[in-house]
Amino acid sequence: MEKVIVGISGGVDSAVSAYLLKKQGYEVEGLFMRNWDATLNNDISGNPTLNHDICPQEQDYNDALELCNLLEIPLHRVDFIKEYWDYVFTYFLEELKKGRTPNPDLLCNKYIKFDLFKKEAKKLGANKIATGHYARLEGTKLLRGIDSNKDQTYFLAQLSSEQLKDVMFPIGHLTKPEVRTIAEEQNLNVAKKKDSTGICFIGERHYQKFIQNYLKPNPGNIINVETNEIIGTHNGLMNYTIGQRKNVGLSGDQKRHYVCGKNVEKNILYVAFGESNEFLISTECTLESVNLISTKNPSQCTAKFRYRGEDYPVKLEYLNNNEIKVSYPEGVKAVTPGQFCVLYLEEECIGSGIIKNVGKNGKKLWYLS
């Protein structure tokens, strides 16, 4: 009998994954990861930012333990706090310092869940590991989950084909409502538990207060990108992202506006006005830190520039230094340095890269420097 170690998070997706595998006849055990020290989740004054009788992470562990007792499977526990800090959170902070908009969840999968977790599972005698991601595998070919609203291949796009060996995604062929129904029919304790949202180490906390624990506020000028006039003061470039329209920091009588760029060297936040989104449109970008899961090197495919974003047709040009130029002549709004661009050939996720710079009609956007 094959032994499968399931990443049990305390949520419904991993719970149903474990149930289905046991039903299919596998020897199933659970492994709960602790990746963040919740005592660090305080605001700038040192006060906890959430009012809980119990740390949310410990509640997740208790839910995971109850679930495994219901399923009559063992639950192991492992701490990757130092490794998460070194490989994921440090990257997150460094990207913010550069004025970019990072997505640490992809690196968490790359360095923690499908590397350290997998090694820990092998120590426990696992033949395979499983997670509750909405994705599918054909060998090591990574395919979108059936539920287009929940498909999570975007977050798996930095994995290598080697990392996808001996991996199972038991709910990739199901929709979220179907997963909930199975959990309710089996009276699983987490059947109605809400999905976690936001960046995993921040959770439901106030983002700016949390970041101020690690990056000091650095106020600077807000400049009208069209007139070059100073129109306000920002409280640190790390608090803004391209396309942002709310809480920009301008007075209430300003007409509709949006963030369109940053200059980290001069500590400037650029803002544009109006409804046209002209300063958000680009037609090309360069990807760095490219990871190709597939051995295919297509010249054309589709791309997502953010999770749950639209699929855009793109042309690819493979450059030196493991970079790719991505062209989309019809234009795309708010393609943002630091975010991941994920590439697809129909249902197959073929890889990804970090957006290095953004251009329009052959020229770099000067207000995104």
pLDDT tens across 31-48, in order? Answer: 999 998 876 654 434 444
Query: Residue 108 catalytic?
Result: yes
pLDDT of residue 187: 97
pLDDT of residue 204: 57
Q: What is the mean pLDDT of residues 266-273?
A: 96
CATH number of 217-273: 2.30.30.280
pLDDT of residue 212: 87
Place 232 in a pLDDT band, splitting at 50, 70 and 90. very high
pLDDT of residue 158: 98
DSSP state of 123: H
Closest CA to 336 of 309, 302, 300: 309
Residue 2 and residue 27 in contact, taking contact as beta carbons nearer than 8 Å: yes
Name the β-bridge partners of 327.
284, 315
pLDDT of residue 252: 65
**Residue 353: φ, ψ to 5°:** -160, 165
Residue 134 pLDDT > 60, yes or no? Answer: yes
Closest CA to 33 of 53, 52, 14: 14
* Identified catalytic residue from 55, 68, 200, 349: 200
Closest CA to 134 of 257, 292, 307: 307
Looking up tokens 């287009």 gives 148
Q: Which CATH superfamily is domain 3-185 in?
A: HUPs (3.40.50.620)
State the span(s) of the chain assigned CATH 2.30.30.280: 217-273
- Kindly report the average pLDDT of the chain as a whole number: 92
Residue 345 and residue 294 in contact, taking contact as beta carbons nearer than 8 Å: yes
* Identified catalytic residue from 68, 108, 285, 301: 108
Kind plus residue range of the DSSP H or E element containing 71: helix 56-71
Residue 51 pLDDT > 60, yes or no? Answer: no
CA distance 168 to 171: 9
pLDDT tens across 175-223, in order? Answer: 999 999 999 999 999 999 998 766 665 555 677 788 888 999 999 999 9
pLDDT tens across 305-324, in order? Answer: 999 999 999 999 999 999 99
pLDDT of residue 354: 98
pLDDT tens across 63-101, in order? Answer: 999 999 999 999 999 999 999 999 999 999 999 999 999
Listed in sequence order, the residues at least 6 apart from 339 whose beta carbon sits closer than 8 Å to its beta carbon are 100, 101, 102, 103, 305, 306, 354, 355
Q: What is the mean pLDDT of residues 213-242?
A: 94
State the span(s) of the chain assigned CATH 2.40.30.10: 278-364
pLDDT of residue 195: 87
CA distance 199 to 107: 12
Residue 112 pLDDT > 50, yes or no? Answer: yes
Query: Residue 301 catalytic?
Result: no
Q: Pairing between strand 220-224 and 230-234?
A: antiparallel
CA torsion angle for 282, 284, 286, 287 (degrees, to 10)? 90
CA distance 117 to 114: 6
State the CATH architecture for 278-364.
Beta Barrel (2.40)
pLDDT of residue 47: 45
Q: Which two tokens stand for residue 282?
A: 């680009």
State the span(s) of the chain assigned CATH 3.40.50.620: 3-185
Residue 31 and residue 46 in contact, taking contact as beta carbons nearer than 8 Å: no
pLDDT tens across 270-285, in order? Answer: 999 988 899 999 999 9
Place 369 in a pLDDT band, splitting at 50, 70 and 90. confident
Residue 364 pLDDT > 80, yes or no? Answer: yes
